[in-house]
Amino acid sequence: MLDFLKRIFADSSSRKQANDRLRVVLTHDRAGTSSRLMETLKEEILEVISRHVEIEGRPEVKIIREGRHSALDINIPLKGR
Amino acid sequence: MGKKTEGSSVIVVTSGKGGVGKTTTVANVASALARKGYKIAVMDLDIGLKKLDLILGLENRVIYDIIQVIEGECTLKQALVKDKRFPELYMLPAAQTRNKDDIKPEQVQEICRQLRPEFDFIFIDCPAGIEQGFRNAIAAADKAIVVTNPEVSAVRDADRIIGMLESAQFQDIQLVINRLQASMVRSGDMLSIDDLMEHLCISLLGIVPEDKKVLISTNKGEPIVLNEHSEAGLAFNNIANRLLGQQVDFPSFEEDSLWGKIRNLGRNLFSKQ
């Protein structure tokens, strides 16, 4: 049922695409970063962490925006003993 | 006739991207304020690519330009072109045969220092780009108006400009959204006011709808604010009133059909990432 509703209301408008693309571009413009740099950053951060503790699940490294300010959001689930 | 207010405001109108409506905004907001009796100077800093004289319909009255003032060939007073339709409106023309590097920020500051005692508002028409011309245009300004269109490249450039204005310690930066088409926003094919506010995060000064009458009045060299039946003219008038500190409500471009409302509600509920 939820999937059905999601499909009906899925927003594939060009306005949504413009917003999605702008979110990414402006975040990188403001922080002086790029998608490529984020990938490198993610790999290196994971490498350092995994040298000391075991990682489990899907780690995330991304830039989040709040107003005109950006922050690096790092979410790395660790394996329990 | 003397000026109306004690102080004076120097406002730079800028955008990053060209062709979004900076000069049209300067010409019309300045005309609207002059019509209300405020004493206004407009300064064209798009050296080499001047437009303001043409948009205002004053191209045949230009004798001297800003470079000649700076180089001492004429006085500032001699270079100011008086608008016959609005006795309180004066324009300082740009030079067409020189370039942006022929002026320095300190020289613009000096001209503004001389204009301030005589005028209520001084508008600076900034050239497109982020180079010397931009630096000259913001050097003497107390506040900035950023003009943009609901279109990705204009928004990206506006964001860059806002960042540069913030780095230059501007406290008062306001947004004018030009050429909005409400029907396209409703059908999901244009960025909305809320979308732009979310991306740019500065306060809103005005929303100017797309209006064919703007081109017609530009053809004639007449400000659109003189046209009582033009939506864009009304919008520029509202901007002038807001600059005077008046509370003017923004028009609502909300979805009015029932299905549109249901669709928007559904999208909000079900299509989050």
What is d(CA B100, CA B97) in angstroms, rounded to the nearest whole number? 10
As for how many domains chain A has, the answer is: 1
Query: Is A12 within a domain?
Result: no
- Helices within B168-244 (DSSP H only): 182-186, 193-200, 212-220, 231-243
Percent of chain B with pLDDT over 70: 97
For residue B271, name the pLDDT band (cuts at 50, 70, 90).
low
Q: Which residues in chain B are closer than 8 Å to A20, comparing Cβ atoms?
A: none
Q: Read off the tokens for B41.
A: 């100077």
Q: What is the pLDDT of residues A65-75, one digit of tens each?
A: 888 888 889 99
Contact with chain A for residue B159, Cβ under 8 A: yes
Q: How far apart are CA B43 and CA B112, in angstroms?
A: 9
Question: Mean pLDDT, to the nearest integer, of B33-40?
Answer: 97
Q: What is the mean pLDDT of chain B?
A: 94
The DSSP symbol for B81 reads: E
Q: Given this model, what pLDDT does residue B169 score?
A: 97
B162 and A21: CB-CB below 8 Å?
Answer: no
Residue B272 has pLDDT above 60, yes or no: no
Whether B259 has its CB under 8 Å from any CB of chain A: the answer is no
Beta bridge partners of B146: B14, B175
Which residue type does A73 have? D
Amino acid at B190: M
Q: Assess contact for B162 and B200: CB atoms under 8 A.
A: yes
What is d(CA B7, CA B252) in angstroms, rounded to the nearest whole number?
A: 34
What is the model's pLDDT at position B273? 45
Q: What average pLDDT does range B115-133 have in this prediction?
A: 97
Average pLDDT over residues B18-34: 98
In a domain, A80, yes or no: no
pLDDT at B254: 66
| More confident call, B55 vs A39 | B55
Determine whether the interchain pair B271/A10 forms a contact, defined as Cβ–Cβ distance below 8 Å: yes
pLDDT at B228: 87
CA A41/CA B38 separation, integer angstroms = 55
**pLDDT recorded at residue B256:** 67
Write out pLDDT tens, residues B132-146: 999 999 999 999 999
Residue A77 · residue A59 · CB < 8 Å: yes
Q: Taking residues B42-46, what's their average pLDDT?
A: 97
- H or E segment to which residue A39 belongs: helix A35-52
Q: Quick one: pLDDT at residue B3?
A: 84
SS3 B48: coil
The yes-or-no verdict on residue A6 having pLDDT over 90 is no
The pLDDT value given to residue B59: 96
Give per-residue burial for B41-74: e unless 16+ CB within 10 Å, then b: bbbbbbbeebbbbebbbbeeebebbbbbbbeeee
Rounded to an integer, the average pLDDT of B183-191 is: 95
Give the tokens for residue A47: 């490498």
Q: What's the token pair of residue A28?
A: 């990188």
Percent above pLDDT 90 for chain B: 88
> Nearest CA of chain A to the CA of B149: how many Å?
13
The C-alpha atoms of residue B27 and residue B123 are separated, in whole angstroms, by 9
Range of lowest pLDDT (A35-44, B69-78, B207-216): A35-44
pLDDT, tens digit, for every residue of B62-103? 999 999 999 999 999 999 999 999 999 999 999 999 999 999
User: What is the per-residue pLDDT for B265?
Assistant: 77
Rounded (10°) angle between helices A2-9 and B258-270: 120
The residue type found at B48 is: G
| Mutation site for A-interface testing, chosen from B130, B161, B189, B199 by largest number of A Cβ within 10 Å | B199
Quote the CA–CA distance of B156 and A23 in Å, as a whole number: 10
CB-nearest to B188 from A15, A22, A68 is A15
CATH of B9-267, one of 3.20.20.10, 3.40.50.300, 3.30.420.40, 1.10.760.10: 3.40.50.300
The answer to whether B124 touches B140, Cβ cutoff 8 Å, is yes
Query: Is the pLDDT confidence value at B197 over 50?
Result: yes
Domain range annotation of chain B: 9-267
Band of residue B237 on the pLDDT scale cut at 50, 70, 90 = very high
* Domain around A42: 17-75
B89/B32 Cα distance (integer angstroms): 10
The rounded distance, in Å, linking the Cα atoms of B185 and B201 is: 19
Dihedral over alpha carbons A7, A9, A12, A16 (to 10 degrees): -140
> Which of B268, B104, B236, B105 lies closest to A11 in space, CA to CA?
B268
Q: Is pLDDT above 90 for A81?
A: no
Q: Phi then psi for B208, rounded to 5 degrees?
A: -110, 115
Task: Considering only the beta carbons, identify the residue of A8, A22, A68 that sits closest to B152.
Answer: A22
